[in-house]
Structure 1
Amino acid sequence: MSKTVMLYTKETCPLCDEAYSILEDLQTEVDFTIESVDIYQNDALLEKFMVMIPVVEVDGEIVDYGRISRKNIRKRLL
Protein backbone atom coordinates (compact mmCIF):
# COMPACT_ATOMS: atom_id res chain seq x y z
CA MET A 1 0.00 0.00 0.00
CA SER A 2 1.28 3.41 -0.97
CA LYS A 3 2.16 5.88 1.78
CA THR A 4 1.10 9.50 1.76
CA VAL A 5 3.72 12.13 2.48
CA MET A 6 2.43 15.47 3.73
CA LEU A 7 4.46 18.50 2.70
CA TYR A 8 3.55 21.60 4.69
CA THR A 9 4.55 24.64 2.68
CA LYS A 10 3.79 28.27 1.86
CA GLU A 11 3.87 30.43 -1.25
CA THR A 12 7.16 31.86 -2.51
CA CYS A 13 9.31 29.53 -0.45
CA PRO A 14 12.50 28.32 -2.19
CA LEU A 15 13.10 25.65 0.49
CA CYS A 16 9.56 24.37 -0.10
CA ASP A 17 10.22 24.11 -3.85
CA GLU A 18 13.45 22.24 -3.11
CA ALA A 19 11.63 19.86 -0.73
CA TYR A 20 8.96 19.14 -3.34
CA SER A 21 11.66 18.36 -5.93
CA ILE A 22 13.36 15.97 -3.50
CA LEU A 23 10.05 14.19 -2.86
CA GLU A 24 9.30 13.95 -6.59
CA ASP A 25 12.73 12.47 -7.17
CA LEU A 26 12.21 9.91 -4.40
CA GLN A 27 8.99 8.78 -6.08
CA THR A 28 11.16 7.09 -8.73
CA GLU A 29 12.46 4.75 -5.98
CA VAL A 30 9.59 4.48 -3.50
CA ASP A 31 5.82 4.30 -4.04
CA PHE A 32 4.12 7.21 -2.23
CA THR A 33 1.88 10.16 -2.93
CA ILE A 34 2.64 13.77 -2.05
CA GLU A 35 0.00 15.95 -0.44
CA SER A 36 1.05 19.58 -0.34
CA VAL A 37 -0.67 21.84 2.21
CA ASP A 38 -0.26 25.63 2.37
CA ILE A 39 -0.07 26.50 6.08
CA TYR A 40 -1.53 29.95 5.36
CA GLN A 41 -4.86 28.25 4.55
CA ASN A 42 -5.19 26.90 8.11
CA ASP A 43 -4.61 28.98 11.25
CA ALA A 44 -3.71 25.96 13.40
CA LEU A 45 -1.07 24.81 10.90
CA LEU A 46 0.26 28.35 10.56
CA GLU A 47 0.71 28.58 14.33
CA LYS A 48 2.25 25.11 14.56
CA PHE A 49 4.71 25.29 11.63
CA MET A 50 5.33 29.01 11.03
CA VAL A 51 9.13 29.01 11.44
CA MET A 52 9.70 25.35 10.48
CA ILE A 53 8.54 25.43 6.84
CA PRO A 54 8.84 23.25 4.86
CA VAL A 55 7.79 20.30 6.99
CA VAL A 56 7.66 16.69 5.75
CA GLU A 57 5.37 14.31 7.61
CA VAL A 58 5.03 10.55 7.05
CA ASP A 59 2.31 8.56 8.84
CA GLY A 60 1.62 11.49 11.18
CA GLU A 61 5.28 11.80 12.20
CA ILE A 62 7.40 14.84 11.34
CA VAL A 63 10.40 13.40 9.53
CA ASP A 64 12.23 16.58 8.56
CA TYR A 65 11.81 20.33 8.29
CA GLY A 66 13.67 23.40 7.07
CA ARG A 67 16.39 22.22 4.70
CA ILE A 68 15.06 18.77 3.85
CA SER A 69 17.46 15.81 3.77
CA ARG A 70 16.77 13.36 0.94
CA LYS A 71 18.56 10.67 2.96
CA ASN A 72 16.30 11.13 6.04
CA ILE A 73 13.11 11.03 4.00
CA ARG A 74 14.25 8.00 1.96
CA LYS A 75 15.20 6.08 5.10
CA ARG A 76 11.77 6.75 6.64
CA LEU A 77 9.90 5.67 3.51
CA LEU A 78 11.71 2.35 3.07
Structure 2
Amino acid sequence: MAQTIITLYTRNRCPLCDKAKATLLELKEDWNFRLEEIDIETSDELTEHYGLMIPVVHIDGEEVGFGFVDKFDISNRLQEKNG
Protein backbone atom coordinates (compact mmCIF):
# COMPACT_ATOMS: atom_id res chain seq x y z
CA MET A 1 0.00 0.00 0.00
CA ALA A 2 1.35 3.43 -0.94
CA GLN A 3 2.19 5.85 1.81
CA THR A 4 -0.45 8.48 2.51
CA ILE A 5 0.54 12.00 1.53
CA ILE A 6 -0.76 15.00 3.42
CA THR A 7 -0.29 18.30 1.63
CA LEU A 8 -0.47 21.51 3.65
CA TYR A 9 -1.01 24.69 1.66
CA THR A 10 0.36 27.65 3.62
CA ARG A 11 1.88 31.11 3.35
CA ASN A 12 4.42 33.05 5.39
CA ARG A 13 3.31 34.95 8.49
CA CYS A 14 0.17 32.86 8.92
CA PRO A 15 -0.50 31.90 12.56
CA LEU A 16 -3.27 29.46 11.56
CA CYS A 17 -0.82 27.77 9.18
CA ASP A 18 1.71 27.40 11.99
CA LYS A 19 -0.96 25.82 14.20
CA ALA A 20 -2.03 23.49 11.38
CA LYS A 21 1.55 22.36 10.81
CA ALA A 22 2.03 21.71 14.54
CA THR A 23 -1.19 19.68 14.57
CA LEU A 24 -0.06 17.59 11.59
CA LEU A 25 3.36 17.01 13.16
CA GLU A 26 1.59 15.75 16.31
CA LEU A 27 -0.49 13.38 14.19
CA LYS A 28 2.70 12.14 12.52
CA GLU A 29 3.66 10.55 15.85
CA ASP A 30 0.65 8.21 15.54
CA TRP A 31 0.18 7.90 11.78
CA ASN A 32 2.51 7.00 8.94
CA PHE A 33 2.22 9.72 6.30
CA ARG A 34 4.46 12.02 4.33
CA LEU A 35 3.89 15.72 4.97
CA GLU A 36 4.37 18.12 2.07
CA GLU A 37 4.15 21.85 2.68
CA ILE A 38 3.43 24.17 -0.24
CA ASP A 39 3.66 27.95 0.05
CA ILE A 40 0.79 29.30 -2.06
CA GLU A 41 2.69 32.53 -2.63
CA THR A 42 5.03 30.67 -5.01
CA SER A 43 2.19 30.42 -7.54
CA ASP A 44 -0.36 32.97 -8.71
CA GLU A 45 -2.74 30.10 -9.44
CA LEU A 46 -2.47 28.69 -5.91
CA THR A 47 -2.79 32.16 -4.37
CA GLU A 48 -5.94 32.80 -6.41
CA HIS A 49 -7.40 29.40 -5.54
CA TYR A 50 -6.56 29.19 -1.82
CA GLY A 51 -5.89 32.82 -0.85
CA LEU A 52 -8.59 33.25 1.80
CA MET A 53 -8.87 29.58 2.76
CA ILE A 54 -5.38 28.79 4.04
CA PRO A 55 -4.25 26.70 5.68
CA VAL A 56 -5.69 23.99 3.44
CA VAL A 57 -5.09 20.28 4.05
CA HIS A 58 -5.30 17.58 1.38
CA ILE A 59 -4.96 13.85 2.06
CA ASP A 60 -3.86 12.03 -1.08
CA GLY A 61 -5.13 14.92 -3.20
CA GLU A 62 -8.54 15.22 -1.52
CA GLU A 63 -9.29 18.47 0.32
CA VAL A 64 -10.22 17.56 3.89
CA GLY A 65 -9.95 20.82 5.77
CA PHE A 66 -9.16 24.50 5.67
CA GLY A 67 -8.90 27.44 8.04
CA PHE A 68 -8.86 25.87 11.48
CA VAL A 69 -7.41 22.36 11.12
CA ASP A 70 -9.04 19.96 13.56
CA LYS A 71 -6.72 17.23 14.86
CA PHE A 72 -9.60 14.85 15.63
CA ASP A 73 -11.11 15.26 12.15
CA ILE A 74 -7.79 14.68 10.36
CA SER A 75 -7.11 11.65 12.57
CA ASN A 76 -10.52 10.21 11.63
CA ARG A 77 -9.79 10.79 7.94
CA LEU A 78 -6.45 8.99 8.29
CA GLN A 79 -8.17 6.09 10.04
CA GLU A 80 -10.70 5.82 7.20
CA LYS A 81 -7.86 5.80 4.64
CA ASN A 82 -5.83 3.21 6.51
CA GLY A 83 -8.93 1.16 7.39
Query: Which has the greater radius of gyration?
Result: 2
Structure 2 residue ranges without an equivalent (≥5): none
Q: CA deviation at 1:51?
A: 0.3
Deviation at residue 60 of structure 1 after TM alignment: 1.2
- In the TM superposition, residue 24 of structure 1 has moved relative to its aligned partner by 0.3
- Once residues 48 and 64 of structure 1 are traced to their aligned partners in structure 2, the CA distance between those partners, rounded to angstroms, is 14
Alignment of 1:6-45 (within 5 A): 6-45=7-46
Q: What TM-score, normalized to structure 1? A: 0.96
2:17 matches 1:3? no
Matched residue SS, 1:67: coil
Instruction: Could you list the structure 1 runs, at least 4 aligned residues long, displaced by more than 4 angstroms after superposition.
Output: none
- Aligned pair count reads 78
Q: State the TM-score, normalized to the length of structure 2.
A: 0.90
